[in-house]
Structure formats: structure tokens, C-alpha cells
Amino acid sequence: MSGRVALTNCGEVLTNAGDVLHGGTVLFSSGRVVDVIVGPSPSGFESVDVGGRVVTPGLIDAHTHAVYAGSRANEYEMRAKGATYQEIAAGGGGILSTVRAVRELDGEQLFAESRKHAEWMLKCGTTTAEIKSGYGLATLHELKMLDVVRRIGEETALDTVGTFLGAHAVPPEFAGDRKGYMDLVVDEMVPLVVSTGVASAFDIFVEEGYFDADDARRLAETLALPLRMHVDQFSSGGAQLASELGAATADHLEQTGPEGIEALADARVVPVLLPASVFCLGQKKYPDARRMLDFGMPVVLATDFNPGSSPTPSLPLVMSLACTQMGMTPMEALCGCTVNAAKALGRGDIGVLAPGAKADAVVWDTDDLSEVSYYVSAPLVWAVFKDGERAV
Ligand code: NIG
Ligand code: FE
């Protein structure tokens, strides 16, 4: 952490939102960015010649469900044969099958499984990941998940931010009694999550068969932590609700139309788009990123990494999808996984390479920033620096 490291001979450095420096040197000291300068390194720094490659801030994945157990490859096969995500869920699969798998493991076992996912994310260039609970759906299992999120942050090179998603699905013990489950979430889980400090935000899955506007309102009324919401994935109207409740972010937004986007823009709700979930579910309708960008909204891109709708840890893949399926430019895509993602998490110390920011950076095996999105699923990550030290 105390090392003074200089990344020299950088082809292009993305310093801030859209600002690119050519032929720069990035200086790290004590885990922070000291400066980004033009020309060679001053003395006193250990120099790493990056050979004209591109350097960006470490990527930030602002929406994941990366703590989970088991896989849902069986459902993937069922979907390949024509079953839909909703049909599989209605048959007891989907989120609830991962809930069963997570409940079977103790914290240590769940950590071992999830650490693997954290390593995958790091290898894809992610240095900070938001990770949600939501596969426990009982007080102790939700807290177990959030403790694993905390441990990943402490015991791997990946930094983590926990989000409490107790309202992800109604667990089997409360089948037919959603309100009873929400009582448990609001009266028992929320106070524990807040007092233990294991989460920075709340989240809720607003969708037919899951949770509704009243449930979201109850969570918002606790005023305990910023509210994030899964909305408009399969049905619409959620963007207006997120705006009305003053949510920090509205995530998914595949079905959001012009009025919903305008409502989000007016209420300054940050849109978090998850195109890999559309892709992995084999659907066709991507969120209307272009309209959001034209409204000046800070569009965020995230993986939604989870075993059901989005089994990918790769933000570079998400950036490629953003460009080919949503008409975003490579620079807009990069900003979606760096500076805007930091905004979604309420963080000013990551997502930029500027004095004082965390020394988290990715060196890409290309001399052209656009190629980070242009190449699809190519292993372009050449090195990852975390807190000023080489992590990959
Ligand atoms: O964001 N939409 C709800 N939750 C996740 C999927 C979780 C799962 O299928 O396990 C999502 O897509
Ligand atoms: Fe999600």
C-alpha cells in the first residue's frame, strides 16, 4: 500500500468522464493516485512501462448478485428449449432454487463459492463491485450473505459494497403471505442490517409475482438507507414509482418508455442498465439508453452477475452489448462502468484517475480506448492495479 508506482508510457489514459490524456504517466502512492502527468516519471517511483497501452480507472460493477451458490445451468437448458424465465420461476425454480442452495451452506462455504466469482470479476477488470443479498430471504441467511460480501471486500483484491435485497422474492415459508414477509423485512431485517452497517443501500424487485408499489413504499418510508429498485424488467410503470419514491437508482428499465425516462430524469434517479441480462435471457428489448443519454442522464452499465438471468462477470462484454445493442459509444460505455457507476454508489473516490482517487486501474492490451468495447469477449485485460498494487 505504501509503494510508489508509476505507470509510464501510457498510450491513452482515461482520467475522468471522457477526458483522455495521450502519452501520460500515472503516479500512485500509498494506494492513491498522486497525479496523471504528461511525460516520464519523476524519481522515487517504481516504474512499470505499459508499452503504449490504454489505462482506465478500475471498472466498477454497480449491480451484481455475485454471492450465490450452485448454478442454474439446468434452467439455461430449459430456456434453450423454449421455457421462459417467468415460467421457470412459477414452477419453483428461478430465484428460489438459488435460495435453497444458499441456505444449505454455512458462511464459510458460501464465501468459498463466492470468492471464485470475485476472482472472475477482477480478471475482467472490475475493482469494485456492489453485491446484493436476496438469496437468503430469512434474517440469518440474509445477514450471512452480507457478511460474505464484507469478507470478499476484506480478503480479496476486489472492493465490495453491500446492498440489502431482502425483498427479492417471497420465500416458501411465506407463500401466499407477501405482506407477512414484508413485515419481517421491514421490522426485523432492516434494523439489523442498518445497525450492523453491512449494507449501503436497500433494493427491492418490483415485478408481477414479486413485490409491488406498496411494498416499495414501506421500504422507502424507513428512510434508513438509499433505495435502489429493480424496475421495468418485464412490466412497466416502475420508473415512475422509483421517481416518486426518490430512489437513488432504478435498475433494469428494459420496458421503460419516454414518460418513465422523463420522470427519472426529473427526479434525478440514476439509471442502471443491465444489457447482459437481456442478452442472456435471449430477449430482444434493450433499455432505451440513447434517450436517457440525450436527457443528460448519467447512464450506468452493470453486469447483474447472477446465476439466473445474467451468468457473466464481464463488464467488457456489457460494454460491447451497450455499443451494439443500445447505440452507446465506446466512451459512453466506459463512463457507464467508471465515473457514472461511482455516482450510482455515491462514491467520489473511485471511477476516475485523478489526484486523491483510489489507485485502482486497468491496463488494456490495446492502444485505442474504443477497442475495449469493440472486441467482444477478448481477453484484453493486461494488468489490474488495486490500491496501487498489481492484482492481476
Ligand atoms: O436482476 N430481477 C431479479 N433479480 C435478478 C435475477 C436473479 C436471479 O434470477 O437469480 C436480476 O435479473
Ligand atoms: Fe439484479
Give residue 70's pLDDT.
94
Distance 44 CA to ligand 2 centre (A): 45
Decide if 259 contacts 63 (C-beta within 8 A).
Answer: no
Query: Which residues surround the ion ligand 2 when the cut-off is CB under 5 Å?
Result: 304
Tell which residue, 56, 124, 5, 42, has the closest CA to residue 354: 56
Separation CA 250–CA 272 (nearest Å):
6
Is 50 exceeded by the pLDDT of residue 78? Answer: yes
Distance 197 CA to ligand 2 centre (A): 21
Give residue 17's pLDDT.
84
Taking residues 177-186, what's their average pLDDT?
98
State pLDDT tens for residues 205-264: 999 999 999 999 999 999 889 999 999 999 999 999 999 999 999 999 999 999 999 999
Give residue 18's pLDDT.
84
Separation CA 392–CA 141 (nearest Å):
32
Locate all alpha helices (DSSP H) within the chain, ordered by sequence. Answer: 73-80, 85-90, 95-104, 107-123, 139-155, 178-184, 190-196, 213-221, 238-244, 258-266, 275-280, 289-294, 315-326, 330-336, 339-344, 371-374
Q: Which of 205, 235, 273, 278 is the best mutation target for the ligand 1 pocket, counting ligand atoms within 8 Å of the beta carbon and taking the most? A: 205
Of all protein residues, the one whose alpha carbon is nearest to atom 12 of ligand 1 is 309
Please tell me the number of the ligand nearest to residue 208's CA. 1
Percent share of the chain, pLDDT over 90: 96
Percent share of the chain, pLDDT over 70: 99
CA count, 13 A, side-chain hemisphere, 297: 30
Distance 355 CA to ligand 2 centre (A): 33
Give residue 1's pLDDT.
44
Could you give all domains of the chain from N- to C-terminal order, each with its CATH number?
Answer: 4-58+351-390 (2.30.40.10), 60-344 (3.20.20.140)
State pLDDT tens for residues 110-120: 999 999 999 99
Taking residues 343-369, what's their average pLDDT?
97
From the number of C-beta atoms within 10 Å of its C-beta (0-12, 13-18, 19+), residue 284 rates as exposed
State pLDDT tens for residues 11-62: 999 998 889 999 999 999 999 999 999 988 999 999 999 999 999 999 999 9
β 46-49/19-29 pair status? unpaired
Tell which residue, 249, 205, 224, 68, has the closest CA to residue 149: 68
* Residue-wise burial string across 230-269, b where 16 or more C-beta atoms lie within 10 A, e elsewhere: bbbbbebbbbbbbbebebbbbbbbbbbeeebbebbbebeb
